[in-house]
Amino acid sequence: MLPLLRDKSVIAIGKDRLSALRLHSGKVIAKQSLPISGDVLPALSEFLKEILFKKTDATVILSNHFMRYAVLPWNETYLSDKEMLAIAQHRFAENYGDGWEIRLNDSAAQAPILACATPKDLISGVLAKFSSSGIRLKSIQPYLMHAFNSARKKIPSEPAWFVLEENGLFCIARIGNGQWKSVRLLRSEKWEEAMLAIEREALMSEEKVGQKIYLCSYSPKKTASDPWSLIPLELSLLPSILSDDAKV
């Protein structure tokens, strides 16, 4: 007799909100959201007591408000994973100080590597809360990686932009030929400022940049003037669970 598959839960940790979905055979069967203020970890501890999460395999998505990103250029000299991690650690320490948990995204040969940094105390705190909750934690993912992996099949390999909107923050990634070219975080509520940032980077880039912008936004009222082409992305589960306007 085959074992029964467990339900899955997706828990989004935002700057001022915890949101979650429970899925059975890929379909959403329950939703919940909790506004928070101050430290997220005590709120997460209480949140995990809800029946919504019982007997599930959980995936945690971390808002880009908590993240820092850096694209490390390909180096002709062979470097081991340990050496690349050391380079990333130096980069983040130089720009943001110490105290970061750093992961390197798998990359094709001769391609830039995306490094993701999360506060160590946040990671250790999330692990501790799940450990005491009895809920299986399968993975902790940055919002950028979770959303991009969900959208990958909708984005061609030609140069383009991938933009994620949260409350008060835009994550702007330039991509091309299956590679990360740049990733930056812009703290703003205004789409016009995000467009200006894209235009400035396009002007300064020495590489060919695309004019298609793939936008994952909880607010559809966005426009872009010529020569830019704005392509809204509708991703299952996202980005609404990281928005204060989320209907969960």
Q: Domain of 17: which CATH number? A: 3.30.420.40
The percentage of the chain sitting over the pLDDT mark of 90, rounded to a whole number, equals 55
Burial 176-204 (b: 16+ CB within 10 A, else e): beebbbbbebbeeeebeebbebbeebbee
pLDDT of residue 1: 41
Based on the fold, state whether residues 25 and 128 are members of the same structural domain.
Answer: yes
Q: Please determine, for residue 248, whether its predicted confidence score (pLDDT) is greater than 60.
A: no
Whether the per-residue pLDDT at 111 is higher than 60: the answer is yes
Does residue 2 form part of some domain?
Answer: no
Mean pLDDT over 217-240 rounds to 78
Residue type, 78: Y
Confirm if 112 and 87 have CB atoms less than 8 A apart: no
160 Cβ contact list (under 8 Å, min separation 6) = 174, 175, 176, 210, 212, 213, 214
Q: Name the pLDDT band for 164 (thresholds 50, 70, 90).
A: very high
Task: Name the residue type at position 18.
Answer: L
High-pLDDT (> 70) share of the chain, %: 90
Residue 25 shares a structural domain with residue 124? yes
Q: What are the structure tokens assigned to 233, written together?
A: 């992305």
pLDDT grade, residue 198 (50/70/90)? Answer: very high
Give the total number of structural domains in the chain.
3
Judge if 49 and 139 occupy the same domain.
yes
Residue 99 lies inside a defined structural domain of this protein: yes
pTM of the model: 0.90
Confidence bin at 185 (pLDDT 50/70/90): very high
- Pairing type for strands 7-13 and 68-72 reads unpaired
223 in a structural domain = yes
Residue numbers of the domain that contains 106: 68-119
Average pLDDT over residues 65-74: 93
Amino acid sitting at position 179: Q
198 and 161 share one domain: yes
Domain for residue 135, yes or no? yes
Q: Is there a domain that residue 1 lies in?
A: no
pLDDT at 218 over 80: no
Where do the H-state alpha helices sit in 142-228? 143-151, 191-204
Shared domain check, 156 and 105: no
Residue-wise pLDDT for 14-40, tens only, equals 988 898 889 898 888 888 888 988 899
